[in-house]
Structure 1
Amino acid sequence: MNEITRMLLFMVSCVLTNNFIFSRFLGCCPFLGVSGKVETAASMGLAVTFVMTIASLFSYMVYHWLLVPLKITFMQTIAFILVIAALVQFVEMFLKKASPSLHGALGIYLPLITTNCAVLGVATLNVSENYNLIYSVLNGAFSAVGFLVAIVLMAGVRERLENAKIPECMKGFPISLVSAGLMAIAFMGFSGLV
């Protein structure tokens, strides 16, 4: 198998079979909290996609070019949290200057990305799986695309459920959990694909 085919399979695997929400259960808080409307879910998903991709790049560089040479790899979690927080702050400042309307639309969602465990999860996963720089960035980017797909699909389901006849005891959060479980089972069907 050549390298291009391997990369394509890796990308599909990140989005479908190793989806951060449905198989690793990372990022569940924004998945359930921000998936009320498709527009807000898409905005959150795009912001997470950008941050996860760039965080994968910077966390790889910090780990391999700073922590390993100094023999302080035990500091990786703290270092990755600092990288992610600084990156989110930079993105927020940039959006505030470049596109105030987009900054206003994202509002509280930008600072929430700092506490999204999927962003920290991808950085630590890259280290534990010993990915090189290219695969680390690909893992970050396409795991984030998987997050985006999951949160937008969930928002679409929740919007449709608003008009559905649901027993009173299942309205709101309970039906959201049942829907998320059914979506996770559906995504398990992709496990034999890659």
Structure 2
Amino acid sequence: MKSYFFFILSNILIDNFILVKFLGLCPFIGASNQIKQAFGISFATSFVVVVSTVLLWFVNFFILLPFDLVYLRIIVYMLIISFGVQLIEIILRGTSPILYRILGIFLPLITTNCAVLAIPLFSLYLNHTFLESILYAVSASFGFTLVMVIFSSIRERILLSDVPLAFQGSPIVLITVSLISIVFMGFKGLVRI
């Protein structure tokens, strides 16, 4: 049980997909202007990541490997991820039309988010069991959400700040991201698995 705790903590803080592995930067930069929007895109991405990881684990171990179809892995994964995105889009349209409108174009772009594909693939290549794959997906998603919310709250403060003209827009965003990344790098060595 103790090792699972450190496994989860490591995926959230130390091996964060945005700040350490630099995956999932498109929604991170594009959809982190407001906290509500960041929560929405994070929830949608997390849902797709967890559902896709579970489905992909079963597809990999019960279809692709037994029938020696491993060469189709990426194509099958993309189809399953597209299915997950369509599912979340239908759910959001029916349950929360306001959030659906807020997320706008970012919702279909989850399909092309490299972190959504990378998390199940990393889990597979790290030889995780089914439980470890789920924990990996949930903890990586939580790390994604944590960074999105932290960064969106900082961006809201930046909008209210007097930023020099040369640093307005993308420069201040990239400087802020690099500083947050340095903070997260401070967690290295905290957990050894």
TM-score, L = length of structure 1: 0.94
How do 1:33-182 residues align onto structure 2 when only pairs under 5 Å count?
A: 33-182=30-179
Deviations 1:116-162 (A, max 9, x none): 11000001101110111111111111101100011111111111111
SS at match of 2:156: helix
For these two proteins, the number of residue pairs brought into alignment is 191
Give the structure 2 partner of residue 26 of structure 1.
23
Aligned partner letter, 2:117:
L
Could you tell me which runs of 5 or more consecutive residues in structure 2 were left unpaired when the two chains were aligned: none
Aligned-pair CA distance for 1:105: 3.5
Give the structure 1 partner of residue 189 of structure 2.
192
Sort the Cα spacing of 1:170 and 1:101 in 2 relative to 1 into closer, same or farther, 3 A.
Answer: closer
Deviations 1:31-79 (A, max 9, x none): 0111111110111111111111111101111111110011011211111
Indicate conservation of the 8 Å contact 2:13/2:184, yes or no.
Answer: yes
Aligned-pair CA distance for 1:99: 3.8
Indicate conservation of the 8 Å contact 2:40/2:99, yes or no.
Answer: no
Distance in structure 1 (CA, Å) of the matches to 2:98 and 2:177: 31
Deviations 1:151-189 (A, max 9, x none): 111111111111222210110110000000000000001
Distance in structure 1 (CA, Å) of the matches to 2:33 and 2:98: 21
Aligned partner letter, 2:132:
Y
Aligned-pair CA distance for 1:8: 0.8
SS at match of 1:192: coil
Give the structure 1 partner of residue 2 of structure 2.
5
Aligned partner letter, 1:157:
I
Aligned partner letter, 1:156:
S
Indicate conservation of the 8 Å contact 2:14/2:188, yes or no.
Answer: yes
Taking only the aligned residue pairs, the percentage that are identical comes to 36
Aligned partner letter, 1:115:
T
SS at match of 2:127: coil
Distance in structure 2 (CA, Å) of the matches to 1:52 and 1:94: 16
Distance in structure 1 (CA, Å) of the matches to 2:157 and 2:93: 33
SS at match of 1:190: coil
